[in-house]
Structures are given as C-alpha cells and as structure tokens.
Structure 1
Amino acid sequence: MSSQEPQSQVRRRRVFYIPGYDPIHPRRYRELYRKEGRAQADLSGYELVISAKSGEGPYGWHVISQQDDVEVRTEVEVLVWSDIVRESMGSSIPATYAQMVRTAWIYISGGALWRLMRLRKGPVIAALYPVMMLVGQLALAILSGWGIAWLLSPWIGWVAAGVGFAVVYALLRWFRRIDNRLFAYYLMHDYAYASQLRGKIPQSLQQRLDQFRDLIAEALVTPCDEVLVVGHSSGAHLGVSVLADLLRTTEPRPDGPNLSFLTLGQVAPMVSFLPDAQKLRSDLQFLSLAKTLTWVDVSAPGDGCAFALCDPVAVSGVAVAGKRWPLVLSAAFTQTLSSDRWRELRWRFFRLHFQYLCAFDNPGDYDYFRITAGPQTLARRFAGRAPSRSRIERTVSKYTSVTP
C-alpha cells in the first residue's frame, strides 16, 4: 500500500468532502450522512452520533462513533462550490440549446465521445440523455405550436402564427420548470461546464480549488490521526487537482496525520480526454506516483453514471513507471445490496450514483461510515488488498500530453 506508516488506531479524523456538480445547499449531505449512517450502524452493530458544527469555516458536522471498542471523533467538512454551479446553470433556454450544440461539437470533433464509449457505455448514454431530451422537447414544442397554428389559421389568419410561437415558448418553459424530474437541463449544464474550455479549469473554479488546498494544508498540521479527502463524481477529479497542487508545494510531516484520498463514482475521463486538459492529466500522473498519501478509487458497474473500474490515470494515457495509485476497487452493488434492495434501485440511475454515500445491506471492505468514522486509516483498511481484476487500465484517450 502506502509508504506512510499506518497509525495503530484513528481516534481523531478530519474529513473533507468534495461534491460533484450540485447546486443544492451542502446540508443535504449532512442529512444524507445522518440518515444513512444511522441505518448502516444498525445493520453493522456499531454506534454513530452526529451533531451540528458550530463556528466559522466550511459547512460540516461532527461525528462520534464507537467501533471495534474504539471511540473515534470525526469532523466532516464540505468543500462547497455549489454557488459556482448555480451561476453556471443560469443560462436562458436559447443559451442552453447553444451550449448543447457547442458541447456536442467539442466531444465529437475531437474524438472524445467515441473513445469514451470504448470505456463504459453507461456514462456516455447519461451524457447523450440531455441532448436527446432537449432535442425531443424542442421538436414536441415546435410540432405542437405548428399544429395549433394550422388549426387556428382558417379563423384568425396570420395571428395564428403568433399563437403557435406562444405555445412553443410556453411548452419549453414548462419543460424547464419540471427539470427537477427530468434532469435534462441539469445534466446539460454539467457537461457544458466541464467542457467549456476543452478541459482547462475555469478561473473561478481554480481559485476555489486553491482555497480547498489551503484548508487541507491547515488540517495536516492539526492534532489528528488522519486527514481524509473524499471526492464524489466530478468532485473526484477536482480532488486530484487539489491534492496534486498541495503535494507539489507541501511535504506532509512524517509525524503528522496520514493523508488519504477516496474517490467515489469518478467521471474523470469526461474531462481528461479533452484536448486542453493537460493540467488534469498532469495532476493525475503526479498523484499516481505520490508516496505520501493513499488513494483508493471505488466504483461499481451498476452505477451507470460513473466510469466504473476505469483506472483514471491509465485510461487517460498518463501512467508511467513507478505508478502506485489509485487502488481500483468495486463496490459490487449486486453483492453488497440485498436482492430486494437491488431490484428497487437498479433503474434509479441518479440514486445509484449516490449509493457510495449510503448504507449497504451486506457491506464488504467498502463501508463509507467505517472509512470516514472508524478506527482504521484508509491505508490500514485496504493494506494488502488486490485491485479489482475487472478494472480497465489500457490507454484510451487520444490526448495524453501533460504540458500545454
């Protein structure tokens, strides 16, 4: 595993959670942790008590857990970028359709779309879903408007055309209003934001990542046993860049806390396969060689929104001799969820994408609440663990440069 010497036990831990592209207030993650943590504790026979965080700093909560006869105190903080997400989602309906055309062109013209399909079809289908939905909504609105105009034209003449345009506009507005059920605009904004600079990190986001880096650096000099960074979905590759920038300038103290990195349901290839993503590819390569942290990547083939079991370093074409990370593991939903629970969730794609943060009926090595609130460091928990045999490690990206 890691060249770090795993500490005998963790009694105090700092956890920094980096969410994916999510406009909602971070309290949703506290409530999810509270609900699912209680369920997992009941299933697995340990204690988990959550309380609100007070004072300044990032939004978070405190956890006191009794596991394996050890009391562990954990401070969880959410590294928030939801304000940036909300700002990026403020586009008008015409602007969203323009984003759709531009995003499709970026992925198709550079060949990224076809190469992503060679990895996993699930996340590519998820990426095509908003395009198909938005095109379908526009077609339905235009047909409806044209049909009504045609029916009314014998009675009101040219005024019928204005009525038809009003119907088109009203239908498109209605589709956007119910997007909390359809997710077409949400996903379109997600992919458009990730690809807007062909893989470069937007300036406002880079400034926020620099703040995240500083917060983690401060935690590494506090009296705790482990600093654990958790990146979920697109938060996974943001975490890669944060930690790479941190370790390029800061050497963790040998007697300080273990530095651990857990990525869940990662979608890094959606960005690292783009032509101008040299920064992310460089960060992936740098972190894969790091001796001062432990990086475990967990995904599941049942998660159609993630590049399951795809080593983000290798498939991006930046693996080099001496590569250490990540350790790619499967959450194996079909084994860790009961058959009834799996049947209930298997077609709820967005819910499954968050299953990594939830309770499992039959948890194996991967138990989110033992990892974030239990007495073992990430390095010790997975010491000697072999990577998933079904992982994908071949180079697939057309673009592999790590310098501009």
Structure 2
Amino acid sequence: MTRPFRRRVLYLPGYDPIPPRRYRELYRREGLEQAAISGYGLTFGPRQDRTGFGWGIGGDFDGGKTEVEVEVLLWADLVQGSMGQSIAATYGQLLRTAWIYIGSGALFRLMQLRRGPVLAALYPVVVLILQLLAALTLGAVLGGLTGWGAARLLPYGGWLGLPVALGVIWAVLAFFRRIDGKLFAYYLMHDYAFTAHLNGAYPAALDARIDWFANRLARILRDDWDEVLLVGHSSGAYLAVSVLADLLRKGPLPENGPKLSLLTLGHVVPMAAFLPDAARLRRDLHDLSASAAVSWVDVTAPGDACSFGLCDPVAVSGVEPDTRHGPLVLSAAFRQTLSPEKQRALRGHWFRLHFQYLCAFDRPKDYDYFAITAGPLTLAERFANRHHSPGRIAKPVNRYRSKVVE
C-alpha cells in the first residue's frame, strides 16, 4: 500500500484577536465547499501532535491520498494586549502613528506602490476624526442649548452647558467604539499603531514569540513529514519571513528532512519594512530571498485593497540579494477566479476580500489554498516552471535600506 503524502502546516495569522478555533471553522467550511467545486475529498479530525491548537486533515486527490496536521501559531494574546487602549489613548495613537508615517516619508513611498492599502491605512484616521467632529458638534449644540436654557432660569446657569457638552462628547465617542465591530476604525488604528510604534522595530514580546515559533518549527522539521509548510497571512506574512530567517540562522536544516516551504498571502510588508527602524525585517527579507533551502511563493491580488497586490516584498523594500531564490510572486486574480455573482456579493466587503485567500473560489485556477495545504504536491512541485504574474511591481522605492540590527 502506497504511503500517503504527509504534510505539516503551520498557519501564522495577521493582527487578529480572535480565538484560533475560528480559523479551524473557516478552513472546514470553505474547504468542503472548494472540495465539492474542484472534485477532491477532505475529511477532518484530531491531530496526533496536540501541542498548541490545530486540526487534522485527510485528503483524497487524483494524485494520491494525504495526511495533514495544521497548527495555528498563536500571538493573539499580544494583539489583545495592544488593543486595550482607552478612547483618549487611541486618539493619541492616531497622532503618533500619522506622524511616524508622514514624518519618515514612508507614506509617500507607499503611495508609489498601491493606493488601495494606503487608503485602507488612512481609513481609520479619517473615520476617527469624523467621529470626533460629530461628537464635538453634538456636544456643542446640546451643551449650548442647555446653557442657554439654564441661564434664563439661574444666575450663572450658563456654565451648566459645559458638563453637558463634555458628557455628550464622551457618550458619542463611547457609542462609536461600541459599534467598532462594524466599522473597524479602532481595530485598524491599533493594527497600524502596533506596527509603527517602534518605527518598524519588533517589540521585545513579539521578538520573543518569533524566536519561539522558529524553535517550534525546528522541532517539527525533525519529524517524519514530506513537507513542512509555513503559511503567513497579512501581517503574519512578514512575521513568517522573520521566523524562517531566524530558523536558518540557528544552523543547518536536518539532512534528508522534509521540504521546507513558505506561502505568504495578502502581505502588507511595506507597511513595516518602509519604516526607519525596520532593519531586522529588511535583513530577514534579504536573507530568506537569498536562501535556496526554502521554497517561497507569495500570493496577493490587486482586488484586495488591504494588501500590496503583486508588490514583490523583497524587491520593493530595496533589499533584493544578488542571487535570488524567492519569492515567486503570483496573483490570486479575483476577477478571474471568482464568478461575477460572487464578486458582486463581496463588493464593498474589503475586509472579507482580504481573507479570500483562505476561502473557496468558485472558478479556481492555479491558486487553491486547500489543494496547496492538503494536496499531494509540495509547494515547489505545484508551481514548478512558473514565472511571476504579469504586473509584478519590483521597483525599489523604499527610502530606508539598512539591514544592520542594533
């Protein structure tokens, strides 16, 4: 009996406070839908390795059967800790983050790549300012009316309008914060502030978590797998780059070990790499690109306004090595891989589109997340002899090129 192809998948999410079980539910729901469309079989169950959180997959493809174990690399606790900001502190973050991106010149460099993600970055700034203006206007009107009425009844009664105005302002801002699950202004502001607050350098807690991820990956590479695949989505894409760069610096990979692959999805690398003190990330991008030990494929889509579609993360950051081995830059081509009906259903849901890489496509082409993660081909085999997608952006527009980590 032929041995099933065995893969270990480690999924590194972006800046996301949600519990990891949501990723399991998403994978199961969308995976079954994609399997029905594409004509292969997926079954789900527990893993043998119970470290961390994850799930097992059995695949039945034309090319053979597979056994897959998925593990989510958790850093949601760090995200949750960075989001526990008061309303006033969030507006302080707005001012500091805007100053970092504008003062460093990063914002203007980013605009030379894609306007979509830059507009997405400006969205929380604009929305929070509009919320503040609405609160100030309503507070001034109601406070003024209260003061005018009180002044007619009481000596010095006009002063009563001030506490009313302040109360109204605070109540309006608190209301907007309560409904942020629909607006995402506070969430995105915390996201960009987390990236920028050390001018692109990793906070100590995140640096330690990246080291833990690299050590975890090193242990898994000693086990009996055909492929170990690290998947990084959104800001998890550049963290995955740093994890693998750390792993390679720790020493040689096991001889005759599993193939090591990296799939980055919907990356936002320039939002971090274009900042002055992101030397660590720039060094990691350079070193990983120069390594032949890792098969690296980067998938984005111009239709995803939250990512830098078809922007080569190494080249645009200005750190491309003389001898380059990755990444292969491919488009998920939403306009071709999603039917007009599905495109209409997703129109305006830009946050949902940013997660489309992890979902089913009703007109799939080369990119199929579930075939990549649960199918019988390694990442390198699946995209062998492929070239970069047309429209790849490789102009090195980053002002900051230093890779020296202090």
Q: How does 1:321-360 map to 2 (within 5 A)?
A: 321-360=322-361
- Structure 1 distance, partners of 2:119, 2:400, is 22
Task: Check whether the contact 1:18–1:79 (CA below 8 A) recurs between aligned residues.
Answer: yes
Any gaps of 5 or more consecutive residues in structure 2? Answer: 151-157
Q: 1:365 deviation in Å?
A: 1.1
Inter-CA distance 9–196: structure 2 relative to 1 (3 Å threshold): farther
Letter of the 1:190 partner, please give it.
Answer: D
Q: How does 1:5-404 map to 2 (within 5 A)?
A: 11-53=5-47, 56-68=50-62, 70-156=64-150, 157-404=158-405
- Structure 2 distance, partners of 1:241, 1:81, is 14
Higher relative contact order (CA 8 A, sep 6+): 1
Secondary structure, aligned partner of 1:314: coil
Inter-CA distance 211–307: structure 2 relative to 1 (3 Å threshold): same
Q: 1:230 deviation in Å?
A: 0.1
Q: 1:131 deviation in Å?
A: 0.3
- Structure 1 distance, partners of 2:307, 2:124, is 16
Task: Check whether the contact 1:63–1:373 (CA below 8 A) recurs between aligned residues.
Answer: yes
Task: Check whether the contact 1:338–1:361 (CA below 8 A) recurs between aligned residues.
Answer: yes
Task: Check whether the contact 1:10–1:225 (CA below 8 A) recurs between aligned residues.
Answer: no
Secondary structure, aligned partner of 1:328: strand
* Runs of 4+, deviation exceeding 6 Å: none
- Structure 1 distance, partners of 2:84, 2:199, is 20
Match of 2:155?
none
Task: Check whether the contact 1:240–1:284 (CA below 8 A) recurs between aligned residues.
Answer: yes
RMSD: 1.3
- Structure 2 distance, partners of 1:193, 1:336, is 33
What is the TM-score when the length of structure 2 is the normalising length?
0.96
What is the TM-score when the length of structure 1 is the normalising length?
0.96
Per-residue deviation, residues 110-136 of structure 1 (Å, max 9, x unmatched): 100000010000000000000000000
The alignment covers a number of residue pairs equal to 397
Task: Check whether the contact 2:63–2:376 (CA below 8 A) recurs between aligned residues.
Answer: no
- Structure 1 distance, partners of 2:167, 2:322, is 62
Q: 1:150 deviation in Å?
A: 1.2
Task: Check whether the contact 2:27–2:359 (CA below 8 A) recurs between aligned residues.
Answer: yes
Per-residue deviation, residues 69-112 of structure 1 (Å, max 9, x unmatched): 51101000000000000000001100000000000000000100
- Structure 2 distance, partners of 1:195, 1:164, is 34
- Structure 2 distance, partners of 1:336, 1:154, is 62
- Structure 1 distance, partners of 2:4, 2:161, is 72
Larger Rg: 2
- Structure 2 distance, partners of 1:67, 1:9, is 14
Letter of the 2:11 partner, please give it.
Answer: Y
Q: 1:263 deviation in Å?
A: 0.1
